[in-house]
């Protein structure tokens, strides 16, 4: 008896994944390198501190920064059968950083800190946008990172003026 050769098609693979619950999972950013055990320990310690000091949810704040590459092209894309490769282009790396802060009850959202490499972007000049009317604290630096100096300015000017 001849041995049957397995031919796994995309359809077969898709149905197999759906049937078995297998799916693609991509870890992003700091999640891939974070220490989950230390985070779990911190949650317990923090709850004890909040209870022992009698803090209200309105007095507990969480602050985090996020980056956004707003001109970055996707890593994968679809092309037609006629095209062998994508036309060459230099990858754009324009990014901005935002620092958000809110209290534990969610009723007080602090004005975000916005960090970008340009003090006044061309689009703002072209459309005559006034930065004072944009509801963020706008700062600029070449590295587009929320550095200590920017964070201190944000604390003194926005969070606790």
- Burial (CB count within 10 angstroms: exposed 0-12, middle 13-18, buried 19+), residue 114: buried
Render each residue's pLDDT in the chain as its tens digit; 161 residues. 678 888 888 998 888 888 887 767 665 556 556 788 898 999 999 999 999 999 999 999 999 999 888 777 766 665 555 666 666 666 667 888 999 999 999 999 999 999 888 888 888 888 888 888 889 999 888 877 778 888 999 999 999 98
Close Cβ partners of 72 (under 8 Å, ≥ 6 residues apart): 91, 92, 93, 94, 95
Specify the pLDDT at position 28.
59
Specify the pLDDT at position 17.
81
E strands in 22-125? 61-69, 95-103, 109-116
Specify the pLDDT at position 32.
57
| Contact assessment for residue 103 and residue 59, using Cβ atoms and an 8 Å cutoff | yes
Specify the pLDDT at position 33.
67
Element (H, E) at 125: helix 122-126
**Token pair of 85, please?**
């490769």
Specify the pLDDT at position 49.
95
Specify the pLDDT at position 112.
96
Specify the pLDDT at position 64.
93
Report strand pairing: 95-103 vs 61-69. Answer: antiparallel
Specify the pLDDT at position 104.
94
Residue 69 φ then ψ, to 5°: -85, 95
- The number of CA neighbours under 13 Å toward the Cβ of 158 is 23
């Amino acid at each position: 008896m001849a041995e049957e050769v397995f031919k796994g098609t995309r359809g077969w693979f898709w149905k197999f994944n759906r049937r078995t619950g297998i799916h693609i999972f991509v870890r992003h950013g700091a999640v891939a390198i974070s220490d989950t055990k230390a985070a779990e320990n911190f949650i317990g310690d923090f709850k004890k501190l909040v209870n022992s000091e009698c803090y209200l949810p309105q007095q507990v704040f969480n602050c985090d920064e996020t980056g956004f590459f707003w001109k970055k092209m996707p890593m994968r894309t679809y092309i037609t059968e006629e095209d062998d490769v994508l036309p060459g282009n230099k990858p754009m790396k324009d990014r901005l950083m935002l620092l958000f802060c809110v209290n534990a009850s969610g009723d007080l959202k602090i004005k975000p800190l916005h960090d970008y490499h340009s003090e006044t972007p061309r689009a703002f000049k072209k459309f005559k946008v006034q930065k004072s009317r944009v509801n963020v604290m706008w700062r600029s630096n070449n590295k587009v990172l929320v550095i200590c100096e920017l964070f201190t300015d944000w604390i003194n000017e926005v969070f606790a003026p």
